[in-house]
Structures are given as structure tokens and as C-alpha cells.
Structure 1
């Protein structure tokens, strides 16, 4: 006798409640659109606070295999509830944006695509005078730092990172032999999903499995093996940003779990050490025993602590920004 099939995933990560009704219950509004970049059409979303003034803008980038439409919304909605106008885009090869699922053949170009949308909002009449922050989670942290390095000085007020991928754990480092062999095929193998999947530790946290299962239900999530070009670009881009940490000059916040199996905390520590940002504007929070997905997978009490630290940091920076503007 066949075991019963698992129930179908809910239409939304929060359950069955219609979108408009759910967002209203969270005191935010949501909008969706597509943005044409020089290289691809990308899917974008915004979350704006209801019935309160907007303090600043925050531009968010999700991680590998993820997108903006599922559990990543948790962090987007939280910031909007705090009074921030939040904008996010699906990376190429992810979610509803153009591209082969799971494939990023040029990380710099992928960053430039999202940046072109973010800048169109950042420079708009409605938001041009507000403080503006870039936020990235996991591989999105890597893309976020690439966007910062591609931006003109003075564009951004600060950077926020959640478990940024700046140093790849040994178990996840792509095999140089594999990359070399596939490279000999003159790019024909670049899109092949043949790279060995990373050997990952189980998630931490007492209710981590429940939240991880919800994360895995994402209908747009890429679940195949890593593609050759994506892993090549991750390896190249992480090395590139590490060589350019000293170009970071603005305030930043980093949250990183000490039990993270997918992004080494040493990368976050290295950014704190090498960035020329003023010492008082660098904040690294190491969360003892927490894993990689600080908001979506860790127990609620743990993820709430991370969000509270993020809120305290950005609220302080926005208040300081306002005081500096009054004094100038």
C-alpha cells in the first residue's frame, strides 16, 4: 500500500490568506513589477509601511536558490513595519527573473542588473533625499558588496549583511579539477547542473526543521545541482571582494551565526578588519550556535533577536543621518 502523498504546499509562505488581506494585517502594502535592464528583465517587489512616515529606503538581495516571493519576505515585511520603504529584485536565474534557473554566468552583470533597478528608485524624486541602505543575505551579501563597489561614492548610507558569503567553507569550495575539465569544453558546459552539491551540516535550532520544510516548499526555489558557471562565479567573486574590502568606507552591520555551514564567519570578520569605515560604524554580531539562515530557519526567538539587532542599528544610523543633515 502506497503511503499517503504529502499535502500540497500553501499558496503563500504564511498560508492561505489572500495577499492583500495578509499585507494589510501586517500594516504594509506590496507591489510587484518587472524592470528591464540592459541585460535582462528582472522581477521586482516593494513593501511600504502603512500609516507611518518613511524613514529611509532599504534595497534587499536574496541568496542562492531563493527569491523574493517566499520566506525572504519575512525580512522585507519586518523592515517595512519599522517604517522603511523596502525594494527587492529576483536575481537573474532566480524566481521570476529572466535566465536559466540556478545559473549566474556573470556575477558582476547580475549585480549590475539589480543595481540598475535599485538606482532608479534611489534617484527618484520620492526617495532621493532619504537615507538609503543595501541589504544582502548569503550569496545576496556577496552581490550586495559587488553593487556597492559598482556605485558612485555617496550613493549609499550603509550596508546590512545577514550571513554574507565572502569566504566559502571548505566543504563547499568548487573542485578546481571539475572547473578546469568543464572549462576545457570552451563554455559549452557552463550551464550544466553537474557540480557536486555542498556537504552541509543540518540546520540548528529546536524548531529549525519545521521552518526549513517551509522554506523548501517554495515553488520557485531552484533544487537542482549547482551549475558550473554559477560555482565558478561564486569562487571568483568571493576572491574579488576580499581583495577590495579596504574600499568599503560606509557604515555596515553584519549578523553571522557561529555554526554557519554555508558561509564562513571569517569573511565577515575580515571585512570588519579591512574596511576603512570608522570603527564606531562597524558592527559585527556573532550569534552563538546559530546557522546560516538567521531569519527564515532559526527558531523564532533567535530570529527575532537578529531582527531586533538590525532594527536598533538602522534606526540609530537614520537618526544620526538626520542629525548630521541638520548640522550641515
Structure 2
């Protein structure tokens, strides 16, 4: 058994998920099912890297406060990061990375926060040196490659999140090459959207997720899968001249949602 919460290589973590998830999808009972990735925080980063590893395999992703960029509010000073990189191969497992209390920053509801703090299965020490640096490098890599994301996705983020930066979720939505992409930002909500908010907020979050998935779930045949592996480039045909419309002329749908008395901003983009 390895050291708890020690990530020697983020690539190996993604490879493990890739092999396991594919082995499940290949089982007879799941072959006709849609394949969606779901990731929260660091799991959102894993989901995006799984998509990059095999872009045609997945049918979509739900990304909840994804770790596309670690907030400057919890990131160590650049000088500290520089010093830590000098010793990461010498003391990779040491719990010495200075960070703020993530539980205090992530979970808004005080009762739920205390329950989480008392849960002995949740890692609450300082991050191990190699783990922290791998997470930082991964988030920087994802931030620099947002334009290469091209699967359907729904990204959800609390606007008051101080753990992962909601602005990078905006950037993901704006830069991604995906034809079908949706973003919803929740005013006043923190990082732990599905576990740290009041119950009514959590219910609204899952309602939004289930609605998005229901609209895109379907049964697949082997022929469908083969066609997806070699998709024709999509085009929006301009009815006036029969040609492909410029990007700025393509229709976009915007929806406004209401969440617990607060206006939630939802943007949806899909090729018609």
C-alpha cells in the first residue's frame, strides 16, 4: 500500500482511470449506454485529461468546480514554489506545503463543514510535496490547453469559490472548441457545490446536472460508435447564401435559471 494522498505522477493517475473506465464501458451490459465523465475539483482535471487521451470515446462531461487553475488565494507564494521544486525529488512525500485550510474555504454550511472535518477518511494534513506540485503543474497545463477541449460539457462553478478559480471555468467555456457547451455560475456559492452548500442549493445543483444528462443520454449501436470515431466536420448552413456562416453569426441560446432566490447565470452554446 502506498502513502496516503501521494501522487507521484498525475499522468499515471489518469492512465489508471482510463484503463478502469474503459474496462467497464466494454462490458456487454454497458456497451449501448452513453459515456459521460463526471469530475469535481481535481476530478474535473482528471476528466479533461481523460478526454484528451481519447477524444472520441466519451459522449460528454460534467465538470463541477474543475481544477483548471488553482486559486491564487490558496496557492503558495511563487518564491516558496520555486524552493519546493528544488527538493521535490529528495523529500517527495513530506507534508510541508504551506496552504490555507481547504475545508474552511470549500464548505459553506457550518454543520456540514464540521461533519466533514470529523470524517477520518478525509485527508486533512498539509499536501505532500510531490502531490501539490503535480496538481499545480497539471492545472497550468490544462489552463494552457483549454482550446483543445472538444467534447460536450457542462461546467458548474460557485462564484464565491476561493479554492479553484471560477474565471478559468469561464475561460474554458469561451475557448473550448466544443460545439455543445454549457456553463452555469452560482452567485454566493463556494467550492463544495454538491457537499458543502445548504440542502436546497445541493438539490438545485443535482437537478441541473440530471437535466443536462437527460437531454444527451441515448442508446448506442456499434454502427453509431463507428460513425462517431470518424465524424464529419460540423457546419452551420447560412440560409441566405448556402455557405458556412462565420463563427460570430452562429446561433447561441442563453437560458437564465433561478436558484434559491438568487439568479444563476447559465450560458449554453450548441450548433443547430
1:121 matched residue in structure 2: 24
Moved over 6 A (4+): none
For 1:140-178, what per-residue CA distance to the aligned partner results, in whole angstroms no more than 9, with x for missing partners? 111111111112x32100010111111111122233333
The answer as to 2:64 corresponding to 1:165 is no
2:37 matched residue in structure 1: 134
Q: Deviation at 1:107?
A: 1.0
Q: Deviation at 1:199?
A: 5.7
Q: Deviation at 1:202?
A: 4.8
Residue range with higher mean Cα deviation, 122-131 or 180-189? 180-189
Does the 8 A contact of 1:247 with 1:276 survive in 2? yes
CA distance in 2 between partners of 1:234 and 1:113 (Å): 16
Matching residue within 153, 158, 161 for 1:252: 153
Unpaired segments ≥5 residues, structure 2: 228-272
1:269 matched residue in structure 2: 170
1:177 matched residue in structure 2: 79
Does the 8 A contact of 1:204 with 1:291 survive in 2? yes
Matching residue within 302, 305, 312 for 2:201: 302
Matching residue within 219, 225, 247 for 2:126: 225
Does the 8 A contact of 1:174 with 1:232 survive in 2? no
Matching residue within 77, 89, 107 for 1:187: 89
CA distance in 2 between partners of 1:187 and 1:229 (Å): 8
Aligned length: 223
CA distance in 1 between partners of 2:135 and 2:53 (Å): 17
Does the 8 A contact of 1:164 with 1:263 survive in 2? yes
Q: Deviation at 1:179?
A: 3.5
CA distance in 2 between partners of 1:122 and 1:241 (Å): 25
| TM-score normalised over the length of structure 2 | 0.76
1:22 matched residue in structure 2: none
Q: Deviation at 1:321?
A: 7.5
**How big is the alpha-carbon RMSD for the aligned residues of Structure 1 and Structure 2?**
2.2
The answer as to 2:168 corresponding to 1:238 is no
1:284 matched residue in structure 2: 183
Q: Deviation at 1:320?
A: 9.6
Change (3 A) 1:193 1:159: same
The answer as to 2:7 corresponding to 1:104 is yes
1:32 matched residue in structure 2: none
| TM-score normalised over the length of structure 1 | 0.63
Structure possessing the higher relative contact order (Cα contacts under 8 Å, 6 or more residues apart): 2
Matching residue within 58, 73, 77 for 1:156: 58
For 1:84-131, what per-residue CA distance to the aligned partner results, in whole angstroms no more than 9, with x for missing partners? xxxxxxxxxxxxxx5311221211111111221111101222212211
